[in-house]
Structure 1
Amino acid sequence: MQDTDGTPVRRFGLPTAVALVMGNIIGGGIFLLPASVAPYGTVSLLAFGVLTVGAIALALVFGRLAERHPQTGGPYVYAREAFGDFAGFLSAWSYWTMTWVSNAALAVAGVGYFHVLAGTAPSKGTDLAIALAMLWLPALANLAGTRWVGAVQMISTVLKFLPLLFVAVVGLFYFDPKNLGHFTEGGGNWTGGLTASAAILLYSYVGVESAAMSAGEVRNPERNVGRASVLGTIGAALVYLLGTVSVFGTVPHDKLAKSTAPFSDSMDAMFGGHWGGTLIAAAAVISIVGALNGWTLMSAQSPYAAAKDGLFPAAFGRKRRGVPTVGVLAAAVLATGLTLINYVSGSGGVFNILVLVTTFSATIPYLLAAAAQVFFLLKGQREKVNPARLTRDMVLALGAFAFSFWLVAGAGYAAVYQGTLFLFVGVIVYAWMAARRPAQRPQDEAEAGAEGEATGPVLEAETVRG
């Protein structure tokens, strides 16, 4: 296979695909999660477990869908195949919106960790320069080609995974049950604490679709996309769950609930001194840069697939060295604009609204992809369904849909409201693109209809034999 510039596509192997999933799931949020959920008690660990099951179900569904459509674009491809151009466009538009807005948020979050690591004082000019460097260095790695994307992703995933896993494993040897809070804090019932903590944790697994989104760059995608999705999700879950348990057991609950650096506090509790804070800050910076590297690629893949079908401008559908360069540049420029708004104009309200948009936009492609799998299973089309695992696949699809629906509900009213408005902006873009697409000639429609009539009985006969 070749790119649009005629150069061979450089494909990701299974390890790189797993690193892409893990690297995109584990961003900067993991370093604050234990403190964020501590006020709800240890019931938050149960919430983490429930969410992990839902995320793995979604990963398995993406693997099943990739077996049938091993193409770049993932959720967009599945939604369009099942429900038509408009549903596919909404999936692509939502995902694209989420990626470049969240990239700006990641870059801004990374600035604080950088100051801890470098020992420098915050200032508006310096902070802006650091944030822009965090955006554009991964963009340059992407523009250099998939080989560089894969290399950066592998290195950053290993470098951030090792210190987190170190805290997660070694912390178990320093675990003191006296540090744990109550199962539920504040005198509430456990279901309320479960729901409240789950609302904070819901987006911890956004990124599970990364291998499916880049299926066109994965070797043997019919097999490896599903494996990478599941292995990457399990790897992230291992870090999340063990890390949170270790921090809960090494930092006293009262201190943890007020902590701004829970993993650093855990390191200090285990070994004394303050060197742990520097180590964790370095891991956080590496984690965020690695996540930005992967999400920059994701920001280009969805519009690339849509552009190939005439639903995004044609420039988004061209690749160079395996990477849709226009999509990478567009995402970097848009994220740069949001970052400038954050630091220059001080319009925090505008930036906060756009961040809320990401929490809703991330879930639309998940819902549509899970619904597409349910549609294919109910239709029972032989080329899309393996009859031997029909029941299992249906349970997984319904579980993935429920998990995605829970994500939407957990986003909150403000996120759903703002996200829906932003989604509707895409309707105008779709109308513009649909109007520019060349109409199908009557002769082509007649030929397509004749072909459908000829192949229909054959497919029906095959279904009966199956």
Structure 2
Amino acid sequence: MASNGWRGEGAANVRTQLHRALGLREAIGIGVGGTIGGGIFVLVGGAAGLAGPAALLAFGLAFLASLLIALPYAELACRYPEAGGGYAFARSVLGRRWGFLMGWVFWGAYLFVSGYVTLGFGGYLHALTGIPVPAGALGLIAACAAVNVAGVRLSGQVQFAVITLAVAGLVGFGAIGLPHVDADNFKPFMPTGPAGILSATLLTFLAFGGFDMVAAAGEEVENPQRNLPLAILLTLAIVLGIYLLVAFVALGTMDWQGLGASGAPLRDAADRFLGPAGSAVVAIIAVLTTAATANAVLVVTSRISFAMARDDLLPGRLARINAATGAPTVAILVSAALMALVALAGSVHISTSIGGFLYVLHFIPPLVVLMKLRRRGGNATGFRMPLARLLLPLAFAMSLALLLSSGAIGIAGGAAWLAVGLLADRVRR
């Protein structure tokens, strides 16, 4: 394999091992921060517009799908606590070619998903300050790049502080709003029928995306056999409780059509029972939380490209690590630039459709990996998925259903990204 052209001059002399600098708290911060921001502050409106009050069912279905996939992910993260998450799993077991495709899909998924996060941040910032949405999105990406270049420990500490504030604000929103819920807002409960619920489930599945970010940073997590599965499963548990509370209050205090059409859905819902001052506080929390999500997205995209470059599957300069900070600086800056291009496209619908398709697709190879490992036998180190013979087929079935629900735009855009990756792989070889 002709790989020298991809490594870059002097790449072989650069240290490419990341520091284990993230404890359980910081790992949960990356997982919860990567999940809550876009999901509850941006996608809750889109899910309401697709399914009406039955968006609550979509959140429940998405949680079940996420749990089915999180269990094998937790086992694999213990077996392969390396940078890149699912990419590392596929490359180690299925080989370099499948590893490249898995990494390419994984990278693309989060690059496209970043669009709804950064534009959601821009929408809430615009509601507060009047700053244009694209300018706010680009400013956020630049700030996240600066924090990540400074080092992963600082990034993890900032992440945990912001998410602690955001979780407190969301719980407060739910607790204060519960007495104001109007049962009439839930009638009719399924205005768009089962098809609307299925479409909303893909969006809400994206809202649970984040547990895999923990695995992607697995090489930087301390005591990975204990902390990785705990961080993955605790991320889902924390997020489920917050989502159900906040979505119930939002749907119960505002009609579903208005919620679906809003660019800042939770701010508009808060205005109904907290007034202008309260809605401004919610918007501030939304700005902070979507910023934390964007930071987590940049962590995972840069670590995927770093891991692929270290394995000679992408240009070697992406595997360079700053000796002073321990951060993969080039990978961070390249991923930030690509996130900026997605934000400049300016379409939440397109980014969620393509990102959703790729995001679901990237879970299928790890499921294949675990099936193969289980057939080989042997004892796994650390966490072991229960009832694998029953739950793995269910995870496959749920993944295929979600792929179909991504629609023509998602399938076409995802196929185009795959085609670019296949061409790049052919050039590399």
TM-score by length of 1: 0.81
Structure 2 match to 1:290: 292
Structure 1 match to 2:128: 117
Structure 2 match to 1:398: 393
Task: State the shift of 1:15 in Å.
Answer: 1.1
Equivalent runs, 1:62-461 vs 2, <5 Å:
62-118=73-129, 120=130, 122=132, 127-185=133-191, 188=193, 191-252=194-255, 255-256=258-259, 259-271=262-274, 273-320=275-322, 321-340=325-344, 356-377=353-374, 379-384=375-380, 392-433=387-428, 435=429
Quick one: which amino acid aligns to residue 139 of structure 1?
A
Quick one: which amino acid aligns to residue 161 of structure 2?
I
CA contact (8 A) 1:96 1:303 kept: yes
In the alignment, is residue 37 of structure 1 matched against residue 47 of structure 2? yes
Quick one: which amino acid aligns to residue 65 of structure 2?
G
CA distance in 2, matches of 1:50, 1:21: 20
CA contact (8 A) 1:300 1:324 kept: yes
- Return closer, same or farther for 1:33/1:108 CA change in 2, 3 Å cut-off: closer
CA distance in 2, matches of 1:403, 1:280: 34
Task: State the shift of 1:296 in Å.
Answer: 0.8
Quick one: which amino acid aligns to residue 163 of structure 2?
T
| 1:306-335 Cα deviation digits (max 9, x unpaired) | 222222222222323332211101111223
CA distance in 2, matches of 1:254, 1:99: 29
Task: State the shift of 1:193 in Å.
Answer: 4.3
| 1:241-280 Cα deviation digits (max 9, x unpaired) | 1111122223355654555544234323333x31122112
Structure 1 match to 2:70: 59
User: Percent of aligned positions with the same letter in both sequences?
Assistant: 28
Root mean square deviation, CA, Å: 2.8
CA distance in 1, matches of 2:310, 2:257: 54
Task: State the shift of 1:42 in Å.
Answer: 3.4
Quick one: which amino acid aligns to residue 26 of structure 2?
T
CA contact (8 A) 1:135 1:292 kept: yes
- Return closer, same or farther for 1:340/1:172 CA change in 2, 3 Å cut-off: closer
Task: State the shift of 1:66 in Å.
Answer: 1.4
Structure 1 match to 2:21: 11
CA contact (8 A) 2:111 2:355 kept: no
Quick one: which amino acid aligns to residue 330 of structure 1?
V
- Return closer, same or farther for 1:116/1:89 CA change in 2, 3 Å cut-off: same
| 1:77-118 Cα deviation digits (max 9, x unpaired) | 111223211111011111222333433553233222112122
- Return closer, same or farther for 1:353/1:258 CA change in 2, 3 Å cut-off: closer
CA distance in 2, matches of 1:42, 1:356: 22
CA contact (8 A) 1:48 1:241 kept: yes
Quick one: which amino acid aligns to residue 21 of structure 1?
G
| 1:218-238 Cα deviation digits (max 9, x unpaired) | 111122111101111121121
CA distance in 2, matches of 1:352, 1:255: 17
CA distance in 2, matches of 1:226, 1:173: 37
Moved more, 236-245 or 312-321: 312-321
CA distance in 1, matches of 2:360, 2:187: 32
Secondary structure in structure 2 of the residue aligned to 1:184 = coil
Quick one: which amino acid aligns to residue 270 of structure 2?
M
CA distance in 1, matches of 2:250, 2:351: 32
Could you say which structure has the greater relative contact order, defined with CA pairs below 8 angstroms and 6 or more residues apart? 2
Quick one: which amino acid aligns to residue 164 of structure 1?
L
Quick one: which amino acid aligns to residue 251 of structure 1?
M
Secondary structure in structure 2 of the residue aligned to 1:72 = coil
Secondary structure in structure 2 of the residue aligned to 1:11 = coil
- Return closer, same or farther for 1:269/1:24 CA change in 2, 3 Å cut-off: same
- Return closer, same or farther for 1:305/1:161 CA change in 2, 3 Å cut-off: same
- Return closer, same or farther for 1:254/1:310 CA change in 2, 3 Å cut-off: closer
CA contact (8 A) 1:267 1:276 kept: yes
Number of aligned residue pairs: 414
| 1:141-189 Cα deviation digits (max 9, x unpaired) | 0000011110121122122222212122332233332332223225x4x
Secondary structure in structure 2 of the residue aligned to 1:42 = helix
